[in-house]
Amino acid sequence: MEQRGCGAWRERRQWVVFMVALVLFWSGASAQIRYSISEELKEGTVVGNVAKDLGIELSTLKDRGFRIVSGSTDPLFQVNQNDGILYMNRKIDREEVCERSSVCLINLKTVLENPLEIHYVAVEVLDVNDHSPSFPETEKRLEISESALPGARFQLPAARDWDGGQFSVQQYKFSHSEHFRVEVKDRGKDGKMPFLILQKQLDRETVKSHKLLLTAIDGGNPPRSGTIEITVEVLDVNDNTPLFTKNVYSVMLNENSPVGTTVIQVNATDLDDGVNGHVIYLFGNDVNSKIQKLFDLDAETGKITVRGQIDFEIQDSYEIDIQASDQGVAPLTTDKSVIIKIVDVNDNEPEIEVTSFSNAIPEDCRPGTTVALISVNDMDSGLNGKVICSINGEDVPFKLMPSLQDNIYSVVTKSPLDREKQAHYDVIILAKDAGQPSLTSVKTIIIVVSDVNDNSPEFSLSPYTFYVVENNDPGGSVFSVSASDRDINENALISYHILRGSDDEKKWAYFLNINSENGNILALKSFDFETLKMFQFQVVATDSGTPSQSSNVTVNVFILDQNDNAPVILYPVSANGSAEGVEEIPRNVNAGHLVTKVRAYDADIGYNGWLLFSLQEVTDHSLFALDRYTGQIRTLRSFTETDEAEHKLVILVKDNGNVSLSATATVIIKVVEPKEAFAASDVKSSVKDDEEENSVTFYLIITLGSVSTLFLISIIVLIVMQCSKPTDYSSKYLQDTNNDGTLCHSIQYRSGDNRYMLVGPRMSIGSTIVPGSNGNTVVLPEHRMRASGEVRRLPMLE
């Protein structure tokens, strides 16, 4: 008997080895790795070299983040990133991990990044014979009527072995008895069930009880066993057993059914009378405690009701043995299996797992760039476990792309990104199953958009217009420009420089310097309004990105006049160049007679060039008067005999600047008799008139030539500026000569919506002085400007 058992064990072992080899061969053919290990191995035991079997270079394991993806905080296995070896993280008890499973298979998922790779590894945990069969009790008492016929069957308590497969209970043995033998019924996954078979009719008068030893033996080598003592009490005459009304009892039960829900009702009848025919219902001896915690059985009615939480995901069906027993002195029993199939209910939300995720992506990435890898899982089955994954919202530039493997999705970009519009996105992933009603789970991933240098600096104004007073201090700051960049960090760090060139228009840029960090512009020389009235140059702003971006802006500079030129006396002028002259008049002239006219010129403009005349020194205030605007000297009264024959007048010519400048001229007036005056006038008039005319004409020609030259230059510059680039400003220079004796200047120009005029001794009606203009600038209302550009004159107050 033992030799046959050993031979059968060897055959089964060879068959197991053949099946393992076949499984491993088939796993390799399907491009998946599968390992087999025994349970109860110590921690750190090597399972296999995953990297070698997958063909992955060992040097890249750590850089690519080779790891096992596991949702458990205490995983069963770990992988070494240095050599790719898969080892046991803790001791494995197969009966704990794979309870009541014929094949214990643990599926692992390994991940490598850059690029992303996912490999699947299956580890089969092989059972070892580390548990002995055991009975729920040490002895069992049976009562059998003496009327029982040979062949009668009595269910015995089944032994349980925590090991599975060949190491579970394989056979039962009885101690020697002529009346009884044991018969085993195979219930599939519920194991083998022993039955006591009556071989020979009992005789209570001969033997009242029989003691038997039932031994359960597993399939280990050497085998393990457990025993129970069976005591058979022989009863008198109850010779009918209960019979169930149906051959098969099967029912469908929804999971999560409330406690107290009726599952099914069994019914059995007994032909005996009295207590021998009174049937009660009991759970079979093989029904374990877990089932009894889930279901209740009414002993009187046979109704099975729900007692605990029914979960399809834990177990999808139950086979329960029900015993019907009469109440005779020696109760007769019969058993029937009730099959309860659990119907899945959509009670599990989908689970979303972010397998791989890039924290930041550049804003210039192309559409279709992978951002994250998402896996979803639903523990329900059928439609309840079918998951549809999507991104909530259509305004995000991302979409989900399904992979070749079910329930694996890639989050990719679907349109270009712009960090300046949005720097990060909260992407909401929705997972919705197909159950009724459907369940939904949500997971949010934050995607940060990193900056690239895709924006050029922008100046706050374009163009810039600045006004600089002449005679500025060389090396001092005169104005500044400013630019901003919508990028960040190094891409927004701006430096400035002046665009220089060899042409005449850009030569003035060499007299300027700019602070590359803040845009402050320094003048390296002092400007002179009389030499230069305006110029322009360009400033370039460049960021620090790679490659860098730049932009430029035109800067227009207008020079404002200061009172830095003193008046120049044009008449009288002596032969040696001094401002002195001699005038002779007849004594008989009347009051109001024009004696002479003092002429002067100031190179400044506006109030700085507006000249006023006054008598600084005179011998007789009652004789002569000086017009303060024209410089004309006239008599106030007629001469008398007592008046002196020679008079000296010192005329002060002063401009109207804030700090006025002046010059003096001396006029000697000689009073002569009429005849002498006429005689002298005949001789001198021609000479004097010629000299005076020539002198005055010479100075007037120089003055008018200078003014005309400046006028032409200004017109040319304005034409060039208007042709090269239209701007919001315009200027027009007009020269006007006051025939009263003072050369008066006026300049009109426009800046933005305002029109300005630098004036001499006359101003327009309704004009206003602009603060900060040194008194030279007035604003001209549009409706008061004439088409010819002339200005209405107001009489100036003394």
CB contact set of 313 (below 8 Å; sequence gap of 6+): 348, 379, 380
User: Please, which pLDDT band fits residue 394 given cuts at 50, 70 and 90?
Assistant: confident
Where b means 16+ CB within 10 Å and e means fewer, 409-433 reads bbbbbeeebebeeeeebebebbbbb
Classified as helix, coil or strand, 532 is: coil
* Residues 532-559, mean pLDDT to the nearest whole number: 90
Main-chain dihedrals φ then ψ at residue 54, nearest 5 degrees:
-90, -10
User: Rounded distance, CA 77 to CA 75, Å?
Assistant: 6
Chain mean pLDDT for the chain = 79
244-266 residue pLDDT tens: 999 899 999 998 899 999 999 99
| The pLDDT value given to residue 14 | 54
Please state, in angstroms and as integers, the Cα–Cα distance from residue 494 to each residue in 146, 461, 483, following that order. Answer: 111, 16, 8
550-560 and 464-469 strand pairing: parallel
Percent of the chain whose pLDDT exceeds 90: 16
Strand partners, 33: 121
Pick the range with the lowest mean pLDDT from 172-176, 426-430, 563-567, 766-770: 766-770
**Section 663-673 average pLDDT:** 89
Check residue 658 and give its pLDDT. Answer: 83
Separation of alpha carbons 420 and 449, rounded Å: 9
Q: What mean pLDDT comes out for the span 13-27?
A: 45
Q: Average of pLDDT values for 715-728?
A: 68
CA distances from 487 to 418, 484, 496, 545 (A): 10, 9, 17, 9
What is the mean predicted confidence (pLDDT) over 672-676? 73
Q: How many CB atoms lie within 10 A of CB 565?
A: 19
pLDDT at position 546 is 87
Q: Is residue 526 within 8 Å of 545, Cβ to Cβ?
A: no
% of the chain surpassing 70 pLDDT: 81
755 or 2, greater pLDDT:
755
How many whole angstroms separate alpha carbon 371 and alpha carbon 84?
A: 27
The predicted-structure confidence for 413-429, as pLDDT tens digits, reads as follows 888 888 888 888 888 88
Q: Looking at the predicted structure, is the pLDDT value of residue 640 above 60?
A: yes
For the chain, helix, strand, coil in percent to 5 are: 15, 40, 45
Band (675; pLDDT cuts 50, 70, 90): low
Cα–Cα distance, 427 to 372 (Å, whole number) = 11
Residue that the structure tokens 């008061």 belong to = 784
Confidence at 694, pLDDT banded by 50, 70, 90: low
Q: What is the pLDDT of residue 558?
A: 92
Q: Which helix (DSSP H) or strand (DSSP E) does residue 227 occupy?
A: strand 225-235
| DSSP annotation string for 735-761 | EEE-TTSBEEEEEEEEETTEEEEE-SS
d(C-alpha 286, C-alpha 298), whole Å: 18
pLDDT-derived band at 505 (thresholds 50, 70, 90) equals low
Whole-angstrom distance, CA of residue 754 vs CA of residue 748: 11
In this prediction, residue 632 has a pLDDT band, given cuts at 50, 70 and 90, of very high
User: Which range, 152-166, 377-391, 726-740, has the best average confidence (pLDDT)?
Assistant: 377-391
pLDDT (mean) for 558-578: 85
Instruction: Quick: pLDDT tens for 599-616.
Output: 998 888 888 888 999 988
* Res 796: pLDDT: 32
Q: Is the pLDDT of residue 689 over 70?
A: no
pLDDT in tens, 93-141: 777 777 766 678 888 888 888 888 888 888 887 777 777 788 888 888 8
Position 695 pLDDT exceeds 60:
no
pLDDT at residue 457 in the model: 93
Is pLDDT of 729 > 80? no
- Sequence-ordered strand ranges (E) for 519-561: 520-523, 534-543, 550-560
